[in-house]
Amino acid sequence: MAGIIIKCLSKFYGGKDSGMAALRGLDLEIKDNQFVTLLGPSGCGKTTTLRLIAGYVTPDAGTIRVDNTVVSSPEGVAPPDRRGMGMVFQNYAVWPHKTVFENVVFGLKLRKVPAVEARRKVLDTLALVNLGGLENRLPNELSGGQQQRVALARSLVVEPGILLLDEPLSNLDAKLREKMRVELKQLQRRTGITFVYVTHDQAEALALSDQIAVMHGGELQQYGTPDEVYRRPANKIVADFMGIVNFLPGEVRAGAGEAPVVIIDGMEFDGFARLGDSVKAGQAVDIAVRPENLRLARARSEEHRLSARVTERTYLGNLSEYWVELPTGTVLRAQTHPLEQFGVGDEVFLAIDAAECSVFPHVAEPARAAA
């Protein structure tokens, strides 16, 4: 089992002078025995980071330490097979003409583990990934999910301290993906192996991780628990990437800093979550409001102060979604209990759960509703 410390790590594929950073100044501490996810949109540098950790790519700047030994720096890189790490890819990469057993035993043969011991380890590992009894099958006699478990078993059988997984569930259908999510989490807990997991799927990251590193444009935006990155996003990029968010325009009146009072539609609102960035009095801001933090009512009250009109409604079974338009033209997306029913065209009054909303400085771009 092992922890990883990444300091100031950068990678420029076109050479250092190209200015095209796939990764820029990454600082990250991955503790021993944790499930850490690198999350972000396609092209943000997740795979590059994973390949740097694995030792397939040499950094242009910075260092990677594993258990306090430098394994990567611009001066040199310890080879992948000397790092005690396993890797699992999106396209399972199992050998089609070898049985499950032969696929999994490969790494042990390389290490010259005696046959009897190797057999026991393979069968134990297959049981661990719920493939018990399938050791004589060929990959084409297995489902996609089972093939991905073979790939997992092949990495796990050599007992790595660290397992690197690059979008391992992307090729599976939605139901299976959810099932595998739970299995992966249990596997990490049972084995105590440090998992570094890459995905662009925020729901997957929230469900699996102890810590999430949210990346964008080759840079780390926030590193925190699922609860922190969802409820206390460090900036608008993180707020926007983690699920659905509305940006409600407002203006800070007074007491900027700890507890800003924000004017929305001529009314004062307070009690917002702490600010990620410094926001000054008089400044235009965007309040990040998630759909579940807006409540609708038919009548105005002390809480339900913002008037709006329902422009669209979608029934989703376990909840209803409403698009509501403020007099200013701002459109917000709200989610409510399915039994609360409003019709398109109805006048409604909105309450905001301010304690769950973060306030960010407005940067000149058109205010928009969540898509």
- Interstrand relation of 162-166 and 194-199 (parallel, antiparallel or unpaired): parallel
Least distance to ligand ADP, CB of residue 167, Å: 8
Considering the rule CB under 6 A, would residue 48 count as an interface residue with ligand ADP?
yes
In the complex with Mg ion, the residue whose CB is nearer, 55 or 168, is 168
Least distance to ligand ADP, CB of residue 205, Å: 13
* Long-range contacts of the stretch 302-307 (C-beta < 8 A, 24+): 303/351, 304/349, 304/350, 304/351, 305/267, 305/349, 305/350, 305/351, 306/264, 306/265, 306/267, 306/349, 306/350, 306/351, 306/352, 307/265, 307/347, 307/348, 307/349, 307/350
Considering the rule CB under 6 A, would residue 56 count as an interface residue with ligand ADP?
no
Burial of 244 (0-12, 13-18, 19+ CB in 10 A): middle
In the complex with Mg ion, the residue whose CB is nearer, 89 or 101, is 89
Report the DSSP beta bridge partners of residue 166: 198
315 binds, among Mg ion, ligand ADP, none (CB under 5 to 8 A by kind): none
What is the rounded CA–CA span in Å between residue 138 and residue 96? Answer: 7
Considering the rule CB under 5 A, would residue 47 count as an interface residue with Mg ion?
yes
Considering the rule CB under 5 A, would residue 48 count as an interface residue with Mg ion?
no
Considering the rule CB under 6 A, would residue 45 count as an interface residue with ligand ADP?
yes
45 binds, among ligand ADP, Mg ion, none (CB under 5 to 8 A by kind): ligand ADP
Considering the rule CB under 6 A, would residue 37 count as an interface residue with ligand ADP?
no
Burial of 329 (0-12, 13-18, 19+ CB in 10 A): exposed
Angle at 234 between CA 256 and CA 308, to 5 degrees: 65
Least distance to Mg ion, CB of residue 90, Å: 8
Q: Count Cβ neighbours within 10 Å for each residue of 254-278 and write b for 16 or more, e otherwise.
A: eebeeebbbebbeeebeebbebbee
Candidates 6, 9, 26, 44: give the one binding ligand ADP (CB under 6 A): 44
Residue 361 neighbours by CB distance under 10 Å: 17
What three-state secondary structure class fits 201? coil
Least distance to ligand ADP, CB of residue 371, Å: 21
Considering the rule CB under 6 A, would residue 46 count as an interface residue with ligand ADP?
yes
Report the DSSP beta bridge partners of residue 65: 5, 70
What is the rounded CA–CA span in Å between residue 108 and residue 121? Answer: 9
Of residues 2 through 21, those in contact with ligand ADP by CB under 6 A are 13
In the complex with ligand ADP, the residue whose CB is nearer, 50 or 129, is 50
Considering the rule CB under 6 A, would residue 315 count as an interface residue with ligand ADP?
no
Considering the rule CB under 5 A, would residue 49 count as an interface residue with Mg ion?
no
Least distance to ligand ADP, CB of residue 218, Å: 7
Tokens 């989610």 correspond to what residue? 335
Distance of CA 330 to the CA centre of its chain: 29
Considering the rule CB under 6 A, would residue 22 count as an interface residue with ligand ADP?
yes
Candidates 8, 43, 81, 341: give the one binding ligand ADP (CB under 6 A): 43
Candidates 15, 17, 19, 42: give the one binding ligand ADP (CB under 6 A): 42
Candidates 10, 34, 37, 47: give the one binding ligand ADP (CB under 6 A): 47
In the complex with Mg ion, the residue whose CB is nearer, 126 or 198, is 198
Least distance to Mg ion, CB of residue 232, Å: 27
The single-letter code of the amino acid at 200 is H
Binding piece for ligand ADP, criterion CB under 6 A, among 41-49, 82-90, 184-192, 266-274: 41-49
Q: Which two tokens stand for residue 108?
A: 């042990």
In the complex with Mg ion, the residue whose CB is nearer, 47 or 188, is 47
Least distance to Mg ion, CB of residue 87, Å: 13
Total number of residues binding ligand ADP (CB under 6 A)?
A: 10
Least distance to Mg ion, CB of residue 13, Å: 14
Residue 2 neighbours by CB distance under 10 Å: 20
322 CB contacts (<8 Å, ≥6 apart)? Answer: 296, 310, 312, 313, 314, 333, 334, 335, 336, 342, 348
Residues at the contact surface with Mg ion, assessed by CB under 5 A: 47
Residues at the contact surface with ligand ADP, assessed by CB under 6 A: 13, 22, 40, 42-48
